[in-house]
Amino acid sequence: MTETPPTPLDARPRLVLASGSPRRLALLQQAGLEPDALLPADLDETPLKSEKPRELVRRLARAKLDIAVAAARSGAELQQAYVVAADTVVAVGRRILPKAEVTDEAAACMRLLSGRTHRVYTAVCVAGPKDRPRERLVETRVRFKRLSAREIESYLASGEWRGKAGGYAIQGLAGSFVVKLVGSYSAVVGLPLYETVALLDGEGFPVRAAWRDAV
């Protein structure tokens, strides 16, 4: 029986992650997907007037995708690459929480989230070589315990909240605040794995090709 020769490296489909987030990279790697390039977009993420959380997260994910696709297509190596982009928004009702950059913002987020349920919206967009964008929006409900003043003070002192949507990262210290989660844990971290793999698979990317060599 004649063995099928291995696919030349140059013929292997390329994958681009439109993010510099180490969390999104780690999630892709968890699914056995190693991007060939990281192309984060520098965007103004300020919500538009009266913009709802769903509308914002979709707009930002699509904008990240468009910027990364344009950058990828500008060079020969990534002209046929598959591109993945995502964005995450934390909201209480229609109120969109910021990506906390200063202590006061983080403190306000913790006081608002304390003892109540909030929603985390993550939109993921994928484009294949034909540049036909496909999108999924994942909504997850998360309930925090009632936080004491001491817990909030200690959490703020950790600095872990900096740059995080809603002032927290569920995979970090704030995971101990979560009483209940209904939806996708990986979406709250930043990239819904089921939806991402499904979109890539639907576009023809060989998502399981590396699984055979996984340890």
Q: What positions carry a catalytic annotation?
A: 87
For the purposes of burial, counting CB atoms within 10 Å of the CB of 176, is it exposed (0-12), middle (13-18) or buried (19 or more)?
Answer: exposed
Alpha carbon separation from 196 to 22, 89, 101 (Å, rounded): 16, 17, 28
Half-sphere exposure of 29 (CA within 13 A, CB side): 9
Question: For 95-192, where are the alpha helices, taking DSSP H only?
Answer: 103-113, 149-158, 185-189
Residue written as tokens 């598959």? Answer: 82
Nearest to 21 by CA among 195, 194, 171, 207: 171
| Cα(40)–Cα(16) distance, integer angstroms | 10
| Cα(187)–Cα(154) distance, integer angstroms | 26
| Cα(13)–Cα(5) distance, integer angstroms | 16
SS3 6: coil
| Cα(57)–Cα(64) distance, integer angstroms | 11
